[in-house]
Structure 1
Amino acid sequence: MAIKMIAVDLDGTLLNSGKRISSETLRTLQAAHGQGIKIVLASGRPLSGVLPFDEEIGLKGEDEYAVVFNGAVVQDLAGNVMMSQKLDYRDFETLLRFQRLSHVNLHFETTECFYTLDRDLCVQLLISAAMTDNELKVRERSDIPKDFIFNKAVFTCDQNSDQIGKLWASLPDWAFQSYDIVRSLDNCIELNAIGASKGNALMELADRLKISQSNVMVFGDQGNDISMFDNPEFKKIAMGNAIEDIKQRADYVTDDNDHNGIAKALKKFVL
C-alpha cells in the first residue's frame, strides 16, 4: 500500500541531539510532501512548540495538521482545534495528591499557556516552557477556578534526581485505569485523559482525511509514542535510539536521530 500520511515524533526522532532537523531529513520530508503525502508532527508539545519545525518543512495553514499534547489535541496549523480531550478541576485536585508522593514539579498545560503551583522550579520545567515558546504562569491554589480545564499534566524533576522514579513506583494501580500515563523520559511523567494518545488521535485524523490506516507511517522513539506502535495497521518505524518497547513493536528499525534515521527509512519505503 502507498503511504499517504507520515506521522513523526519530535524529540529524539525528527530532531537530532542539537534539537534541529538535519538537512538530509528535511529534504526527504519535503520530497514526500511534494508527492502529496501528509506530514503530521505528533508531539507531547503544544502547537507553539511544533510550529517552527512545521514551517521549516514548509507546512502551514488549515490543510496541514499537528497532533499535540500527546494526542489530547489535534489542530490545523492555523491554530484551529479539530479534536480535543480535556481534564477538569477534579483531575487537578487528584494530580496534586499524586504530587505529594515524591518531590517533583507539576504543571498543567493548556492551548494558551502552562500553569504551576510550584515556586521552586526544576530546570527541566523551565526548559520545557522555553523550548515550546510557552508562558509559564505560577499561581496560588486559590487562583485556580473551579471551571479550570487543561489538556495535559506533567511531573518533572532535575536530571540527577530519583524522584520521578519514586513517583512512578508509587502511583496507585487505579491511576493507570483512570488516565493515560506515560513515562516519556527518565525525569518526566506525562498524564492525559484516558484514551488521549498519539495513536488514537492519528487514527481519528486519518479517518477524517479518508486515509486508510494501512497508508499511515509512524516514526517514534519513546514511551509516549507506544500508542502509535500498538496499531497493527500503521507502518511502524523505530529510531535506532528508541527504547526497547518501541523497537519490539516496530516493522523496521532505522538509524538513530543523529544519523538521518527518518531520511533513510523514507528512501527505503516511500521515495
Structure 2
Amino acid sequence: MIKMIALDLDNTLLNSAKEISDENVSTLQKLHKNGNSVVLCTGRPINAVWPYVKQLGLTDENDYTITFNGGMVIRNHDRKILNQKGLSLEDFSLIHQYALDNDLPLDILDFEKVYELTDLVKSSYKEVLNSSLEFVQKDFSKLEDKPYSKAIMSEQVVTLNNARANFPAVINDHYKIVRSQPKIMEFLPLNMSKAYGLNILLKHLGMDFSNLMAFGDAENDYEMIEAAKVGVAMGNASDEIKAIATEITIDHDNDGVAFFLNQYFND
C-alpha cells in the first residue's frame, strides 16, 4: 500500500517557471491531509526549498525533506537532522585539480551555502539554478576543513558531456557522478542517492519501499524511481528514467504529478 509520495522538484513537481501549479498543490495537500507522507527530494538545502514546503503545508511533526540528493534527511518543522552524510574538503582535491587543468568551473556546497571557486573559470550554477541559495565567492585554498555535501560543475551541455567522457578512472571511482539538469553535473559521496535518504526515512517511519511512490525526470532520480513500488517518470523525463519506471505520466508543464495521482488514488 502506498503511504509515501516522494517528489523531485526541477522539471517534475516544478513547472518551467519553477512554480508548483495550483492543481499540484491542491492534489498533494488532499493526499497529505488523508495521511500520506509527501516528501520533497532535492539537491538543495532546506532553506532553498522552504517556500515550497510551506506552500504544500508540509510542516507537521512527521514531515521530512530529503536534501542534497540524499545527503541529508531533515524534519521540516524544527529542522532536526535525522541523517547527514557528506565529504571532506580533501575529497574534492581530485575534481578541483581536474577542473583547474581543463579550464572547467566548480562550486562546492556545504550544508547551507554554495562556494563559487574563484581560482577556476566562472561557473554558471547560480544562473542555471535560479534559487535563493546563498552564494559565496572563495578560493579553494581558503575553504575551511569541515563537512561538505557535494561539488557542482555547471557548464554548457556539450562541455559537460565531453568532461564526463574523459574523466580518468580515479575520478569516476572517487565520486557518485550524476546529472541533475542538462547543465548541472554533481559529485556526491559514493553510493549516495535520493533512495539512500528515503530508505533511512522509510525505516524511521515504519515503512519500506513497498510503501513508496516516487516521481522524477533526471539521472539523480534513477535510484528512487527504480526502488519505489510505483516509480513514475514524467513525460519530459530522460529515456533512461522512462526505461526503469513502472509508470509514465504527462509532462511537468501540464500538471503531470497531479494527473497521475488523481488517476491512481481515485481508481
What TM-score does the superposition give when structure 1 sets the normalisation length? 0.91
Indicate which of 225, 234, 249 corresponds to 2:221. Answer: 225
Indicate the residue corresponding to 2:45 in structure 1: 46
CA contact (8 A) 2:149 2:188 kept: yes
Indicate the residue corresponding to 1:90 in structure 2: 90
Indicate the residue corresponding to 1:154 in structure 2: 152
Query: CA–CA distance in 1 between the matches of 2:152 and 2:241?
Result: 21
CA contact (8 A) 1:165 1:186 kept: no
Unaligned runs of 5+ in 1: none
Indicate which of 157, 161, 165 corresponds to 1:165. Answer: 161
Report 1:68-79 matches (<5 A): 68-77=67-76, 78-79=78-79
User: Alignment RMSD, CA only?
Assistant: 1.7
The answer to whether structure 1 residue 121 and structure 2 residue 122 are counterparts is yes
Q: CA deviation at 1:62?
A: 4.4
CA contact (8 A) 1:87 1:193 kept: yes
SS in structure 2 opposite 1:6?
strand
The answer to whether structure 1 residue 261 and structure 2 residue 256 are counterparts is yes
Query: CA–CA distance in 2 between the matches of 1:229 and 1:117?
Result: 33
CA contact (8 A) 1:103 1:163 kept: no
Query: CA–CA distance in 2 between the matches of 1:125 and 1:172?
Result: 27
The code of the aligned residue for 1:76 comes to R
Query: CA–CA distance in 1 between the matches of 2:190 and 2:60?
Result: 30
The code of the aligned residue for 2:91 comes to D
* Percentage of identical aligned residues: 33
Q: CA deviation at 1:194?
A: 0.8
Query: CA–CA distance in 2 between the matches of 1:62 and 1:36?
Result: 12
Q: CA deviation at 1:127?
A: 4.4
Query: CA–CA distance in 2 between the matches of 1:173 and 1:230?
Result: 26
SS in structure 1 opposite 2:231?
strand
Query: CA–CA distance in 1 between the matches of 2:256 and 2:242?
Result: 13
Indicate the residue corresponding to 1:99 in structure 2: 99
CA contact (8 A) 2:7 2:215 kept: yes
Report 1:129-208 matches (<5 A): 130-131=130-131, 133-145=132-144, 147-157=145-155, 159=156, 162-208=158-204
The code of the aligned residue for 1:52 comes to P
CA contact (8 A) 1:106 1:153 kept: yes
Number of aligned residue pairs: give it: 264
Indicate the residue corresponding to 1:108 in structure 2: 108
Query: CA–CA distance in 2 between the matches of 1:116 and 1:219?
Result: 30
Which region of structure 1 is more displaced relative to structure 2, 86-95 or 216-225?
86-95
Query: CA–CA distance in 1 between the matches of 2:209 and 2:97?
Result: 39
Query: Given the superposition, is the C-alpha separation of residues 97 and 235 from structure 1 closer, same or farther in structure 2, using an over 3 Å criterion?
Result: same
Query: CA–CA distance in 2 between the matches of 1:142 and 1:178?
Result: 20
Query: CA–CA distance in 1 between the matches of 2:122 and 2:174?
Result: 27
What TM-score does the superposition give when structure 2 sets the normalisation length? 0.92
Q: CA deviation at 1:104?
A: 2.5
SS in structure 2 opposite 1:103?
coil
